[in-house]
Amino acid sequence: MSKILIPKIKSPLFINMINALDKHHSDACISVFIDSDNSRMLLIGGAPGQYGQIEIPLEKGHGLKNAEFSIPFDFFMCMKEQQQEFNTLANQYIFELRYKNGKYINIEYCLLLRDDKKIDDSIHFPMSRFELDAAHENHIQYQVANTQRAYHELNGRSIVDIINSTNSLIPFDFVEFRKNEKEIRFQKNGEVTTKRLQDNIDLPHTLPLTEAASQTLKTLYMNSETGSIAFSLEGELLTFKTDQHTQSISLEGIEQFHRKITQESTLLLEFASNLYDFKQLNNMILKETSVRSLNTAMLLFDSNRLFSCMLPGRREFIREVSVKHLHNHNALLFSYSPRTLKDMKLKIFAKGGEIRITLTQNQNGELKLNFFDKPEDMSPFDSLNLVSEQSQLAAYQKLKNEYLNTYDDRYILPPSRQGELDLFAEQPSDVPDEIDTPVNDIESHAQYTDTTENQTEDKLKNARVYSPTTHPDLAPKPNNKHSENITENSGDLANIDEYGFADD
């Protein structure tokens, strides 16, 4: 009687192969190919059309003969039941084979008991033998195909970069990495988007992936002894190969993905902002009962600046939104839904904390303002639908000009933090209404009056109290930084990389 041993290092791949079997298909089995001359054994099985191949080296003195056969699906289901009942070790698997008339005829699972397992007369171990079938024809063809595929080698650094890039996209339908390109195209919820990578990934050939394929790549890389993986692309079938394992994954739907790539979105604008002013004005709009029901507000891009605004008849709202790295040559006006913006989980800070924002348009004319949690993220965490409103541009540019031209009239700085300023009411005075002085001492009275009034005025001024005869010296207004072009010296700003922007 001979034994087949699945070593500990191969056990996870072996269990994955079993779990992928579909009992509703004729290939719900694992085919075994024993090559005793080269001291190796191949296991082939898995989901229909997405087979895997595990190569297992045979130990010296294995005693196995050259053979091909398949182990049925029910055998593995029985094996799992015995494992659960007897709480066996699951880090490796041992199977006994019976050989008769020049071939292996049946197989039995050998229980691998734990060290602390007590065996006595109360325990009765079952015997469960299963007849072996011929190796499945599909598995035989897969073995041959694996020797004839044209593979492209991926180095370890490229594999890590691919895994990191795909992890930031999850969940997704497809993602495609192209040779000598710093952009990737991915599909999420049926929509295709193009994103720029921080660095080029060294690829020998275009590599499309599904989310399942990216997870397979990660698993193979972690279990590979050499750290390198090769791949082969044949229509809708992607195959990965390591030193001792081969795995195929279906790319069903890849053709539709490629057709959508031609309809991908175009990047119109890209900038950074903490959106504080945008969110604050939006909150103000939603509190106005007369305009809240309209659920429509505007974004105006003009002269490298951004304004949030609204003209709902008898109301006028406008506020400049602080931005960096915004370069737009033509004035653009878009409407958006204030309620939708309110429901977004944007990280808003009064100062700093800028996020990356893009304005994109697809071939159907749909516009989106995309918000990225981190500059290096490939996928926006949320998007705001916009509608072009260029027909109303003139009215909103007029509102913007009035806003900027009257900006200095919109605030007053008091002379100090302690005092209150009222420009329209007289302040109380502590100057005596009458000085009790002998009438015959006119010179003394005049001298006293002049001196006292001067001293009193000085005293009042020092105390920041003003009489009708003393007027406050209002502090000069600071330069209107809001009305300056906050994106001037954009050439210098373009060199700043803290927001993930490349040099212009």
Assess whether pLDDT exceeds 70 at residue 472: no
| pLDDT tier, 449 (very low <50, low <70, confident <90, very high otherwise) | very low
Could you count the other beta carbons within 10 Å of the beta carbon of residue 446? 11
Strands of the sheet containing 174-177, edge to edge, are 191-196, 183-188, 174-177, 207-209
For residue 351, the 8-state DSSP code is S
Highest-confidence range of 58-62, 143-147, 409-413, by mean pLDDT? 143-147
Q: For position 53, what pLDDT does the model report?
A: 97
- Whether the Cβ atoms of residue 299 and residue 342 lie closer than 8 Å to each other: no
Q: For position 168, what pLDDT does the model report?
A: 86
DSSP string, 72-97: EHHHHHHHHHHHHHHT---S-EEEEE
Average pLDDT over residues 245-262: 90
Q: Which residues contact 343 (CB under 8 A, 6 or more apart)?
A: none
| pLDDT tier, 448 (very low <50, low <70, confident <90, very high otherwise) | very low
* Helix intervals (H) in 87-170: 137-146, 156-167
Q: For position 137, what pLDDT does the model report?
A: 97
- Residue 444: CA atoms inside 13 Å, Cβ hemisphere, count? 7
Out of 14-28, 95-109, 163-177, 490-504, least confident range? 490-504
Assess whether pLDDT exceeds 90 at residue 461: no
Average pLDDT over residues 471-499: 40
Extract long-range pairs of 280-286: CB within 8 Å, 24+ residues apart: 280/319, 281/308, 281/309, 281/317, 281/318, 281/319, 282/308, 282/338, 282/341, 282/342, 283/342, 284/317, 285/310, 285/317, 285/338, 286/338, 286/339, 286/342
Full set of structural domains in the chain with CATH: 2-115+125-146 (3.10.150.10), 150-259 (3.10.150.10), 265-406 (3.10.150.10)
Q: For position 444, what pLDDT does the model report?
A: 44
pLDDT in tens, 359-388: 998 877 889 998 887 777 666 777 888 999
Average pLDDT over residues 270-284: 87
**Model-level pTM?**
0.56
What tokens appear for 171 in the block?
Answer: 């969940």
pLDDT in tens, 290-332: 677 888 999 999 999 999 998 877 788 899 999 999 998 799 9
What tokens appear for 273 in the block?
Answer: 């902002």
What tokens appear for 304 in the block?
Answer: 């490298």
Out of 246-255, 278-287, 288-297, 353-362, least confident range? 288-297
| pLDDT tier, 466 (very low <50, low <70, confident <90, very high otherwise) | very low
| Residue in the block written with tokens 């260029």 | 390
Q: Which residues contact 369 (CB under 8 A, 6 or more apart)?
A: 299, 334, 336, 357, 358, 359, 383, 384, 386
For residue 443, the 8-state DSSP code is H
Mean pLDDT of the chain: 80
Q: Which residues contact 451 (CB under 8 A, 6 or more apart)?
A: none
Could you give the CA distance from residue 218 to residue 252 in angstroms, rounded to a whole number?
Answer: 20
